[in-house]
Amino acid sequence: MDIVISPPPFLEISSPSESNGLLLQSSPKPLIVVPGPPIFSLEADDLIPPPADINPSVHPAAIVSPRPPIQLEISDYASQALADFPELVNLSGSDLLPGAPVASSGVNGVVPARCDSCPLATVVGLAAAAIAPNTSGRIQTDGVITLTAAQWENIIGQPDGLAPGATYYLSPFPGELIHVPPSAQGFYLTRIGTAISSAALEISIQPPIGM
C-alpha cells in the first residue's frame, strides 16, 4: 500500500534528519508516493518550520516534528480491512474454502453459491479464509482478494492460478468460479470480478441475470 502526499507546496521525502524526523525537500512534482513497508504516517500538524539555526541553502524545506515515526506493516492494513467485512456462519455442512463464492442462508448464514438457482446465484461475497461448518468467518464483499495458486485451483480448477485480465463468473458447481460466462438455459450470469494477477481478484459482484 502506498501513501500519496500532495500538500502545497509539494514536498518530497529526502532523508532522515538527526532529530529522528524526516527532512522534506521542495519539489515541483505534483504528487509523491512513499512505498511501503515500511511507511511513515504524516499528518498536517507534524510539519513545523525549520529551526532558525538551519541554513536554508542547505535545508530549504521543513522538518517533520521529532516524534518517532510510526512504522506500519502491510499486514496491519490487511487485518484492519478484513475486520470491516461481515462475519457470517457457514451453514453448508462442509468446509468453505478460501475464495469460495457464497450466498445468504438463514439469519447471518451463508452456503456455497452456484449459478443454476436464483437464490443461490445471488452472491454476497467470497470466503476470505477457510470456514468450517457451523462456524463463522469473514466474507469479503469487495476490494482485492489474494490467494495462492493452490487455493485458486480449488475454486477455478486451474493449477496456475487466475488468468490476468480475465473476468470470472459464478459456476454451476457450488462454491466455484469460471472465466467462461455460463449460457445454458436456466442458468444465471453472476459476474464476480476481474483477475489483476494470477493471485489477485478484484471483486465487483453484480446481480444475477437469467439466461
User: What is the per-residue pLDDT for 55?
Assistant: 57
Tell me, yes or no, whether 124 lies in a domain. yes
Per-residue pLDDT of the chain (211 residues; tens, 9 = 90+): 444 444 444 333 444 433 344 433 433 443 333 344 443 444 444 444 555 555 555 544 444 445 555 444 444 445 457 778 999 999 999 999 999 999 999 989 999 999 999 999 999 999 999 999 999 999 999 999 999 999 999 999 999 999 999 999 999 999 999 999 999 999 999 999 999 999 999 999 999 999 8
User: What is the per-residue pLDDT for 81?
Assistant: 73
Q: Within this chain, do residues 123 and 169 fall inside the same structural domain, yes or no?
A: yes
Q: Within this chain, do residues 102 and 140 fall inside the same structural domain, yes or no?
A: yes
Q: Which of 73, 99, 130 is the last residue of a domain?
A: 73
C-alpha–C-alpha distance, residues 159 and 156, integer Å: 9
Tell me, yes or no, whether 130 lies in a domain. yes
Q: Within this chain, do residues 95 and 170 fall inside the same structural domain, yes or no?
A: yes
Cβ neighbours of residue 56 closer than 8 Å, sequence gap 6 or more: 50
CB 83 within 8 A of CB 93: no
Q: Within this chain, do residues 152 and 67 fall inside the same structural domain, yes or no?
A: no
Q: Within this chain, do residues 54 and 120 fall inside the same structural domain, yes or no?
A: no
Cell numbers 450466498 correspond to: 103
Q: Which of 51, 73, 95 is the last residue of a domain?
A: 73
CB 201 within 8 A of CB 145: yes
List C-alpha distances in Å: 9 to 6, 20, 30, 31, 64. Answer: 8, 23, 9, 11, 15
Q: Within this chain, do residues 27 and 97 fall inside the same structural domain, yes or no?
A: no
User: What is the per-residue pLDDT for 181?
Assistant: 94
Q: Within this chain, do residues 168 and 94 fall inside the same structural domain, yes or no?
A: yes
- End-to-end CA gap in the chain: 40
Q: Within this chain, do residues 194 and 139 fall inside the same structural domain, yes or no?
A: yes
Domain span holding position 46: 3-73
Q: Within this chain, do residues 191 and 117 fall inside the same structural domain, yes or no?
A: yes
Q: Specify the number of domains making up the chain.
A: 2
Q: Which of 17, 50, 73 is the last residue of a domain?
A: 73
Q: Within this chain, do residues 90 and 161 fall inside the same structural domain, yes or no?
A: yes
Tell me, yes or no, whether 24 lies in a domain. yes
Q: Within this chain, do residues 204 and 106 fall inside the same structural domain, yes or no?
A: yes
Q: Within this chain, do residues 19 and 106 fall inside the same structural domain, yes or no?
A: no
Tell me, yes or no, whether 80 lies in a domain. no
Cβ neighbours of residue 39 closer than 8 Å, sequence gap 6 or more: 1, 2, 3, 71, 72
